[in-house]
Amino acid sequence: MSIDTLKLRKVAIDTYHENVAYLNRECSIYRAEGFQALSKIEVSVNGCRLLAVVNVVDDNSIVLPGELGLSQQAFKNLHVQEGALVTVNHAEPPKSMDAVRRKINGERLNQNDFDDICVDISETRYSKMEMAAFLVATGQNNLDRDELLYLTRSMLESGERMNWHESLVADKHCIGGIPGNRTSMLVVPIVAAHGMLIPKTSSRAITSPSGTADTMEILSRVDLTPSQMLDIVRQQRGCLAWGGTAKLAPVDDLLISVERPLGIDSQGQMVASILSKKLAAGSTHLIIDIPVGPTAKVRYMRQALALRKLFEFVGDRLNIHLEVMITDGRQPIGLGIGPVLEARDIIKVLNNSPDAPEDLKQKSLQLAGRIIEFDPDIRGGQGYAIARDILDSGRAYVKMLDIIRAQGEKTMDFSPGKLCYAVCADRKGVVTHIDNFQTAKIARIAGAPMESRAGVDLLKKIGDKVEKDEPLYQIHAEFEADFVFARNLADHNSGYTIGHDDQVLQSLVSF
């Protein structure tokens, strides 16, 4: 409890979302306070405070006994110059962990509890393990729908909120899991060409072979500042930007950074994550795409319906006009899987190329049509025809080119990775199943999204007839090692099933 000061020093180590403090083992404060490695300390200077985990250093070239080292992000978060005198104390555990412990004990939490938790998380008072405890305690069926509403509201209020100063700000979001499913890149130009505001932000791939931001980045820049985005949307009515720069619902980002490596995701947390982000982005009208299929995130129709009700319940209470579309998630959408291959498909659909993938086109038109029907001037049921008209007439392509130029155009060269391997049918028959997981995994191992030209290019889809030894898809890679790994993976399990006509997996939904 004694109080003393140390000289602040920046340590050139990047510890991502975790603040790390480096204390020399000979430091008098370290010895007196009984800190140990991985203790949490509070660093204070001029009224600024920061929580950090202690690493103990035995090398004076990293930190001297009279210094406190901070990792890069921690140093940046403290907003103080090197050499400043800082005070160090034991960190009190975050008060809201009491609520987490009550949740672990089976209690129901209220709005205040979730507010306190989200404030503490956004101020990085939670360690990774405290966030893991929160996620597990609130995972699965541990939150009822009112608690889910409270959580979403608290996450939303933890960060900044955009205001587009229009009464109708459209958005769409897919819950993910379907390779090649880049409908946003068609929906945005169609809807913007209709004149509706659709300032779309997307994520990069985390575990998939490409995210919308990765695919869009082939065509144009996507890392826009908030003011650039504002300008572009004002001119073009739409954009396709990477969502990583804005500070929208920061609690969501922090929770995801724990959820992903743990491989846990609950429907409740998905709903809270999506809706808090969309509301923070200023969306007023939202279409949620839930693909259903045996290798999709949602496998059964009853799950999709339960998820739809959750979205509707929370969305209605947070004043967003929300509609859910349950879509066909039996197989990848389009032909290419990987940034360049997907961008090629998009451009083919936009310029009405005869070999454009029909499923990608139809799904995008359905989604765009539903969004266009948010327009009070459009009669129910007319959206699809309007969307098709915009696409067929080339107006969507022109709008896309405008958006690309506004964001900063890059390339229209879609040549795939130079190493190429065709995966062929082992028998004659009909494609009955395609495994979303396996095709995504092969594309990822081949190098996507880091190697933008790597990936998988599908030649056959469900229902297509094939001869023995006819190619089903091609793997593209840029590097030999990736190529060998991906080829071996595909030889071991191609992800395709060939059978008879009557074994073809039927869609659970029809348009």
Residues that bind a copy of itself (CB under 8 A): 1-3, 11-18, 20, 22, 25, 32, 34, 36-38, 40, 55-59, 61-62, 71-72, 93, 97, 101, 104-106, 127-133, 135-137, 139-141, 257-258, 261-264, 445, 450, 479, 481-482, 485
Cα–Cα dist 333/178, whole Å: 7
Are 427 and 468 in contact by the 8 Å Cβ rule? The answer is yes
- Residue number, 85 or 450, with CB nearest to a copy of itself: 450
Residue 34 or 354: the one with the smaller Cβ distance to a copy of itself is 34
Alpha carbons within 13 A on the beta-carbon side of 147: 20
Rounded to whole angstroms, what are the CA distances from 169 to 204, 487, 507?
22, 45, 32
Q: How far is the CB of 237 from a copy of itself (least distance, A)?
A: 35
* Dist CA 362 CA 187 (whole Å): 11
Radius of gyration of the chain (CA): 25
CB nearer a copy of itself, residue 133 or residue 386 = 133
Residue 8 or 11 having the CB closest to a copy of itself? 11
Q: Is 265 a catalytic residue?
A: yes
Can you read off the two tokens belonging to residue 378? 């459009």
Burial of 42 (0-12, 13-18, 19+ CB in 10 A): middle
At a CB cut-off of 8 Å and minimum separation 6, what does 75 contact? 8, 10, 11, 82
Question: Which residue's structure tokens are 């907003």?
Answer: 79
Instruction: Determine the 3-state secondary structure of 123 from DSSP.
Output: coil
**139, two tokens:** 């995972």
Residue 271 near residue 307, CB atoms below 8 Å:
yes
**DSSP letter for each residue of 109-125:** P-HHHHHHHHHHHHTT-
Q: Which is nearer to a copy of itself, 59 or 355 (CB)?
A: 59
φ, ψ dihedrals at 396, nearest 5°: -65, -40
Query: Which one, 203 or 497, has the nearer CB to a copy of itself?
Result: 203
CB of 100 to a copy of itself, least distance (A): 8
Contact 473, 425 (CB under 8 A): no
Closest CB to a copy of itself among residues 129, 510 = 129
Distance in Å, CB of 369 to a copy of itself, minimum:
37
- The C-alpha atoms of residue 235 and residue 230 are separated, in whole angstroms, by 9
Candidates 146, 265, 389, 464; catalytic one: 265
- Cα gap 335→474, rounded to integer Å: 10
Using DSSP's 3-state secondary structure scheme, residue 304 falls into helix
Smallest separation (angstroms) from a copy of itself to the CB of 238: 30
> What's the closest the beta carbon of residue 24 comes to a copy of itself, in angstroms?
10
Q: To the nearest whole angstrom, how small is the minimum distance from the Cβ of residue 185 to a copy of itself?
A: 23
The least CB distance from residue 484 to a copy of itself, in Å, is 9
Partnered with residue 326 across adjacent β-strands are: 290
Instruction: Select from 501, 426, 499, 434 the least CA-distant residue to 468.
Output: 426
Minimum distance of a copy of itself from residue 470's CB (angstroms): 28
| Interatomic CA distance for residues 93 and 89, integer angstroms | 12
Output 57 or 391, the one with its CB closest to a copy of itself: 57
Which residues are the active-site residues?
265
